Amino acid sequence: MPEKPPILVVEGEDELRELLLSALKVDGYIALGARDGEAALELMAREAVSVVVADLFVKGINGLELLKRARERWAEVEVVITARDAPIHSVVKVMKSGAFDFVPKPIDREYFLLVVGKAVAQVRLAHENQALRRMSDLRGQRSPELTASSPAMREVVKTIELVAPTDLTVLIEGESGVGKELVANSLHQKSPRRAAPFIAINCGVLQETLLESELFGHEKGAFTGAHADHQGLFEIADGGTLFLDEIGEMGTDLQVKLLRVLETSEFRRVGGHKQIHVDVRLVAATNKKLQDEVRGGRFREDLFYRLNVMHIEVPPLRDRKDEIPELVRGFLRAHARRGLPEKRMSDETLEALKSYRWPGNVRELKNLVERSVILARSEVITPRDLPPTLFEPDAAPPVEDDGDTALASVEQRHIMKVLRRQNGNKVRAAKVLGINVKTLYNKIKAYESKIAPK
């Protein structure tokens, strides 16, 4: 949320209302005014307000009723009540009803600004706590460092160093499992936004309606099951970075809404009417060639150009096999910190890993290291602790590699083999391959179309 977010003053006395609004503006806040409770609720439905300052005895919907309605509809809003000569029992009642604080009239300007500042800090703390919870729920632990010992990855790191200090939108392309999220996280950590949230979501694992609600949030009652207001990831990532993985899987209707947010930095929650302004840096990633998706009519051209302001291509693991020993050591350290046994890999084992083609890329390597740590009977992981698939003939690169055709053939054989080993269970197969289920279904569909009778 902004350092000085919008504050709403609900006051029937015109002169006092203008005085309070002026004090807030001088202190750097966006200040909005309303003469009565009805006007306040209408304004809150249109504008994102963080703190409401309301007179207890304002005409129409009084301060206590406004407090109750505001807290019921917008749980993240804090309400400060003001009053002149209010009975003690009334003050106690508003505090028990959820008011942040009470400011007596006549209002002392310095005390008023102090209370508002504390209320803003409380709202910010709630936002940050929610962001931390959502980040924990959405993603597991991330590798802290980006391995870059190969020439190809050194170029990636060089680009990150140049782009990170800016607010430019970045499109990251690369096969599934190459570490695109790690690149996005590195962009965030090297940026001025590093102290704010880094929020990541995979666009390929949610239905479009659920994805829309997850990104933009929803209002209470917007649809069946929407029992409360729900902040979207754009709001939670305010001030930080939002990473949209597998952006190529996003439906065209949602692409239009995303484009609008990128152009205006504003959006509405599902079922909502008020415009919410955010300051978010967007980083997107895809395992597809997004320009090919544009040519095929599956992705909007205007959104592609808006995302592709800066482009980073992450090379597959087979093109940077010299990094495998360093990656393995990093995974072994990470597993040891999680409580798994401390182990190391023999030189012979590392050479065996370097001879494999790694269709699942770094994600497949990480899963294999974890499996080996658990199953190896000694402190040293040897080739016999590795899965048999690493030593099968089609695990190695073909002798005559004619480019994309040969690579696609190797990938297809590997995927079909994993499916057979999992007895056709696509969920388990996708987990073994290190890809999401939707990607696996798309690949199988593509294979079937190639062999379908003409």
3-state SS record for the chain = CCCCCEEEEECCCHHHHHHHHHHHHHCCCEEEEECCHHHHHHHHHHECCCEEEEECCCCCCCHHHHHHHHHHHCCCCEEEEEEECCCHHHHHHHHHCCCCEEEEECCCHHHHHHHHHHHHHHHHHHHHHHHHHHHHHHCCCCCCCCCCCCHHHHHHHHHHHHHCCCCCCEEEECCCCCCHHHHHHHHHHCCCCCCCCEEEEECCCCCHHHHHHHHHEECCCCCCCCCCCEECHHHHCCCCEEEEECHHHCCHHHHHHHHHHHHHCEECCECCCCEEECCCEEEEEECCCHHHHHHCCCCCHHHHHHHCCEEEECCCHHHCHHHHHHHHHHHHHHHHHCCCCCCEECHHHHHHHHCCCCCCHHHHHHHHHHHHHHHCCCCEECHHHCCHHHHCHHHCCCCCCCCHHHHHHHHHHHHHHHHHHCCCCHHHHHHHHCCCHHHHHHHHHHHHHHHCCC
d(CA 201, CA 246): 9
Tokens standing for residue 75: 């749980």
Between CA 69 and CA 328 the distance in angstroms is 55
Strand bridging mode 230-231 / 241-245: unpaired
Residue 44's pLDDT is what? 85
For the chain, report the end-to-end CA distance as a whole number of angstroms.
Answer: 57
Residue 421 structure tokens: 């080993």
Intervals of CATH 3.40.50.300 along the chain: 146-315
pLDDT, residue 278, reads 92
pLDDT at 408: 62
What pLDDT, on a 0 to 100 scale, did the predictor assign at position 358? 92
Is residue 109 a contact partner of residue 300, using CB atoms and an 8 Å limit?
A: no
Span(s) in the chain for CATH 1.10.8.60: 319-387
What residues does 7 pair with on adjacent strands? Answer: 31, 51
pLDDT for res 453: 47
Task: Identify the pLDDT of residue 133.
Answer: 56
Contacts of 139 by beta carbon, 8 Å cutoff, 6+ apart? 181, 200
Residue range(s) in the chain whose domain bears CATH number 1.10.10.60: 397-454
Report the alpha-carbon distance of residue 93 to residue 16 in Å, rounded. Answer: 24
Within 13 A of 280's CA, how many CA atoms are on the CB side?
32
CATH number of 319-387: 1.10.8.60
> How far apart (Å, rounded) are the C-alpha atoms in residues 139 and 146?
17
The pLDDT value given to residue 429: 77
**CA geometry: angle at 183 spanning 261 and 395, to 5°?**
125
Calpha distance 49→70 (Å, rounded): 10
d(CA 424, CA 417): 10
In angstroms and rounded to an integer, the radius of gyration of the C-alpha atoms of the chain is 27
Between 3.90.110.10, 3.40.50.10710, 3.40.50.2300, 3.40.50.150, what CATH number should domain 6-135 receive? 3.40.50.2300
| Residue 235 to residue 337: CA distance in whole angstroms | 33
CA atoms of 135 and 154, how far apart (whole Å): 28
pTM here is: 0.59
* Fold for the domain defined by 146-315: Rossmann fold (3.40.50)
- Residue 412's pLDDT is 78
Phi/psi of residue 267, each to 5°? Answer: -160, 170
Q: Would you call the peptide bond into 359 cis, given omega within 30 degrees of 0 as the criterion? A: no
Task: Answer whether 20's CB lies under 8 Å from 67's CB.
Answer: no
Q: What distances in angstroms separate CA 161 from CA 9, 190, 279, 286, one per listed residue?
A: 45, 7, 22, 21
Could you list the pLDDT tens digit for every one of the 454 residues in the chain? 555 778 999 999 999 999 999 999 998 898 999 999 999 988 887 777 889 999 999 988 899 999 988 888 777 789 999 999 888 888 899 898 889 999 999 999 999 999 999 998 888 777 666 655 555 544 444 444 677 778 889 999 999 999 999 999 999 999 999 999 999 999 999 999 998 999 999 998 777 888 898 999 988 777 766 667 788 999 999 999 999 999 999 999 999 999 999 999 999 998 888 889 999 999 999 999 999 999 999 999 999 999 999 999 999 999 999 999 999 999 999 888 888 889 999 999 999 899 888 999 999 999 999 989 988 889 999 988 888 777 665 444 443 444 444 456 667 777 887 777 776 777 777 767 767 767 777 788 777 665 544 4
For residue 208 the two structure tokens come to 């479009």
Residue 142 CB partners (closer than 8 Å, separation 6+)? 181, 182, 185
The CATH 3.40.50.2300 domain(s) of the chain lie at 6-135
Q: Which fold has domain 397-454?
A: Arc Repressor Mutant, subunit A (1.10.10)
